[in-house]
Amino acid sequence: MKEELCKAFCQDLEVVKVPAGLAVGTGFQKSDGDHIGFYIVGPDAAGHYRVQDDGATVPWLEACGVDLDLESGAPELRQMPAEYGVSLDAETFEITSEPMARSAVPKAGLRLVAALLRLQDSDLMTHEPAGSKSGAESKRGLQKAG
């Protein structure tokens, strides 16, 4: 069974060399259908690596209506990445790890993907139910505008 599970988890895994290190594509998808991927950056001068997203996750969430403002936005969404050993770089919007030894990269990559899945699921928690009054009003407003 372990071999079948490994095959299922890894069959869509793609690893491509890029100037900064490696680009990793996974079989996991966001709600918009795009695959979740990340970068392994390094090694740096000290021989350490980092795992990080492409910097598009936070802007995508904000475009979906999730309030991630570093001062007033949903604190649980800003704190959640720390549970996975990553943090948000407020300047680049990248979700990134601290530098680590090469041997720690695979598990850090899995934790980053889990964090990205949880963050993208927060988009689902911010939308009004389909039959809600404000949702209906928004729909009418879009119909009038279009």
Task: Please check the confidence at residue 141 and state whether its pLDDT lies above 80.
Answer: no
**CB proximity list for 108: less than 8 A, separation 6 or greater:** 51, 85, 97, 100
Largest Cα–Cα distance of the chain, in whole Å? Answer: 59
Give the whole-angstrom CA distance, residue 92 versus residue 107. Answer: 24
Whether the predicted pLDDT of 144 surpasses 50:
no
Mean pLDDT, rounded, of the chain = 81
- Domain extents for the chain? 2-145
The pLDDT tens digits of the residues spanning 45-63 come to: 999 999 999 998 888 888 8
β-pair type (86-88, 50-52)? unpaired
What is the model's pTM? Answer: 0.78
